[in-house]
Amino acid sequence: MNFIEVQDISKTFKVNKRKAGIPGMIANMFAPKFEYKEAVKKISFNIEKGEMVGFIGPNGAGKSTTIKMLSGILCPDEGKISVGGYIPYKQRKEYVADIGVVFGQKSQLQWDLPVIDSFELLKAIYRIPEDKYKKNLDRYTDMLDMNGFINQPVRQLSLGQRMRSDIVASLLHSPEIVFFDEPTIGVDIIGKETIRSFIKELNEKDKVTMIFTTHDMQDIEQTCNRLIIIDKGSIMYDGSLHEIRNKYGTSRELIAEFNEETRVQPINDVIIEDKEDRRVSFTFDNNVTDVNKLMHEILGKYSVRDITVKEPEIESIIQKMYTGEAFV
C-alpha cells in the first residue's frame, strides 16, 4: 500500500450565478440560479513516503482544492483518499497532528506578537514535548537564519522573513507530511533560494514527504523530482521533470556567434534565423537532428567565436501543454 493513495476523487462546487445590475440582483434574491463547477474531476495518484512532488497548473486548475482535500479541510464528493492509513476528512484530529500545512498567502502567526510567541502557542496546541520543541526550534531557526528577527512582532517582518517563520511554524511538531501551497509567492530571489534549499534538505535528511503547489517553475526545477500537472480539474501529466523534457520539449536552439559576417547555407530539418551582432540561431528537433553533427558542421564550415545550446524552459513546455500544442 502506498503512503498517499488518491483514487478517483471529484469535487464540485455550487456557485451562485448572478446576473449583472439591479434587476439581476432582485431576480437572484427570489430565484437564485446555481451553476455547478467541477473543480476536480476524478483525479488519481499515489505518492510514496519521502517523495517530493510538485503540483502545478494555472489559476483555478484545482490545485488548492486537491491540497484542501488531501489535508482534510474539504471532503471529496466521490472517490477515496488515504494518507498513511488515515482518511483525512474522517479522522481529523489524529490526522492533522501528523501533517504540516503552509499557505503562502495566509499566515498562521499571531500578527501583533513576536514570532517566538506564535511558536509557543503551537507547542501547546500540538502538545510538543519540551525537548523535541527545543531541538526543532534551534535547528530550523539556524537553518533558515532566523535568529535576527525571532523576537520581532510579525507585523514588522518582511514577506520573506514572515514566510520563513510560517514554514518553521508548520514543522515544529515534526510532521510526516508537509503541504506547501505557494511557499515562495512574493518572496525575493535570495529568500526563495533559502526556502528552496531548506525544503530540499528537510526532504533529503529527514525523509519528510512533501507536496508543493507553485507558479514558480524554478521552485519545481530545484526541489522536486516528480511533477503533477493539473488543468481544468484533471491531471495532464504525472512523471519526472526529466521525462517531460524528453517527451514534450525536444526542440533545441543552438546559437552561434561568428567572427565575421557570415551567410549560413541551409541545413536539412533545421530552421536558421539571423540575429543581431553576427549571431545566428539554429532551431531543431533533438530526435531528428544530432547536436554533435550539427555542431561539427557549423564549426567546420565557419569561423565561430562562441556557441551555446539552449534547452527549452520548462515553463514554455508547460505553456504548450496548457494550450494543447504539445500533444500535436
Partner 1 sequence: MKSDTLHLSAVYTKMIFRSWFQYRVDAILRSFAVFAREATSIIVVYFTLLKFDSLNGWNIYEMLFLFSLVYVTYGILIIFFTGLRDFGSTVKNGSFDRYILRPRGLLYQLIFANADWFAAVGHGGLGILLFLLSAAKIGVVWTPWRIVYYIFSIIGGVLIQGAIFLFLASLNIYLLETNSLKEVFYWNARKFEGYPISIFHKAIQFCMTFVVPFAFVNYFPAQFILRKEDMSLYPGIFMYLTPVLGIVMYILAYAFWRYSIKFYKSSGN
Which of 109-117, 225-233, 244-252, 306-314 is the region at the interface with partner 1 (rule: CB under 8 A)? 109-117
Q: Does 131 bind partner 1 (CB under 8 A)?
A: no
Q: Does 210 bind partner 1 (CB under 8 A)?
A: no
First-last CA distance in the chain: 36
Q: Which three cell numbers stand for residue 283?
A: 532551431
| Cα–Cα distance for residue pair 55/105, rounded to 1 Å | 16
Residue 127: CB minimum distance to partner 1, A: 6
| Cα–Cα distance for residue pair 164/278, rounded to 1 Å | 46
| Cα–Cα distance for residue pair 273/267, rounded to 1 Å | 12
Which of 26-34, 47-55, 63-71, 196-204 is the region at the interface with partner 1 (rule: CB under 8 A)? 63-71
Among 28, 38, 50, 117, the residue binding partner 1 under the rule CB under 8 A is 117
Strand-pairing partners, residue 209, are 177
Which of 24-32, 103-111, 159-167, 199-207 is the region at the interface with partner 1 (rule: CB under 8 A)? 103-111
Closest to 318 measured CA to CA, from 13, 17, 123, 57? 57
Q: Which three cell numbers stand for residue 227?
A: 511533477
Q: Does 168 bind partner 1 (CB under 8 A)?
A: no
Q: Does 113 bind partner 1 (CB under 8 A)?
A: yes
Residue whose CB is less far from partner 1, 112 or 260: 112
Looking only at residues 68 through 87 of this chain, which bind partner 1 when binding is defined by CB under 8 A?
68, 71-75
Residue whose CB is less far from partner 1, 154 or 244: 154
Q: Does 3 bind partner 1 (CB under 8 A)?
A: no
Per-residue contact flags (x/-) with partner 1 for residues 238 to 267, judged by CB under 8 A: ------------------------------
Which of 111-119, 195-203, 260-268, 289-297 is the region at the interface with partner 1 (rule: CB under 8 A)? 111-119
Q: Which three cell numbers stand for residue 309?
A: 545550446
Q: Does 273 bind partner 1 (CB under 8 A)?
A: no
Which one-letter DSSP state was computed for residue 50? T
| Cα–Cα distance for residue pair 137/159, rounded to 1 Å | 20
| Cα–Cα distance for residue pair 321/312, rounded to 1 Å | 13
Please give the size of the binding site for partner 1, defined by CB under 8 A.
32
| Cα–Cα distance for residue pair 263/63, rounded to 1 Å | 50
Closest to 264 measured CA to CA, from 319, 301, 209? 301
Residue 103: CB minimum distance to partner 1, A: 8
Which one-letter amino acid corresponds to residue 316? S
| Cα–Cα distance for residue pair 261/258, rounded to 1 Å | 7
* Chain residues that interact with partner 1, rule: CB under 8 A: 13, 64-65, 68, 71-75, 92-94, 96-97, 99, 101, 103, 105-106, 108, 110-113, 117, 120-121, 124-127, 153
